[in-house]
Amino acid sequence: MLDNPLFDASDARLFGRDINIDESSDSFFETFYRHFLKAPDIHELFRETDMKRRVVMLRTSFFRLAAFYVTSHPSAELERIGFIHHRLGVASDHFDRWLDALVATVAEEDPLCDQTTEFAWRWAMTLGITYLKLFNYYQDKAHP
């Protein structure tokens, strides 16, 4: 496992020790979507998605990206997510803004979050984000 104690500690403060995110983290999701849906183009992409599905998406996102971070190996599920998002028209820039919204949320919700903790989160999520961005790039290239 990669060593990122600041990420592990912040993750544990926010979500506890369980792998599943529990109900006490509701405000985390609300804060995330408050940040993420500020941009009209992203808001438009989620127009027909209710909050329940949004929470599922964010919960699954963490799990998949964190699994990639731990194993350094993209799962079949991450590839499926790549296909779905390419089809939805999610672009590279959207993935960057997803990460920005996530880090802004951690900064707001984790009382001990500082600049190094923010970096630790970016570090943990970047591998998966890079995978999804590259996936988009090659799909665009293969089907222009």
- Contacting residue, 24, 27, 60, 75, with ligand HEM by CB under 6 A: 60
Choices 17-25, 26-34, 45-53, 114-122 (CB under 6 A): range interacting with ligand HEM: 45-53
For position 42 contacting ligand HEM by CB under 6 A, the verdict is yes
Q: How many CA atoms lie within 13 A of 14 on its CB side?
A: 30
Question: DSSP code of 25?
Answer: G
Nearer to ligand HEM, 38 or 114 (CB): 38
State phi, psi for 4 to the nearest 5 degrees. Answer: -145, 70
- Contacting residue, 6, 90, 106, 120, with ligand HEM by CB under 6 A: 90
| Distance from C-alpha of 67 to C-alpha of 1, rounded to nearest angstrom | 10
- Contacting residue, 81, 103, 113, 124, with ligand HEM by CB under 6 A: 81
For 5, 8, 37, the CA distances from 1, given in Å and listed in that order, are 11, 12, 33
- Contacting residue, 6, 10, 33, 64, with ligand HEM by CB under 6 A: 64
Look at the block and give the residue holding tokens 């990206």: 65
Element (H, E) at 90: none
Query: Interface with ligand HEM by CB under 6 A: which residues?
Result: 42, 45-46, 49, 53, 57, 60-61, 64-65, 81, 84-85, 88, 90, 94-95, 98, 129, 132
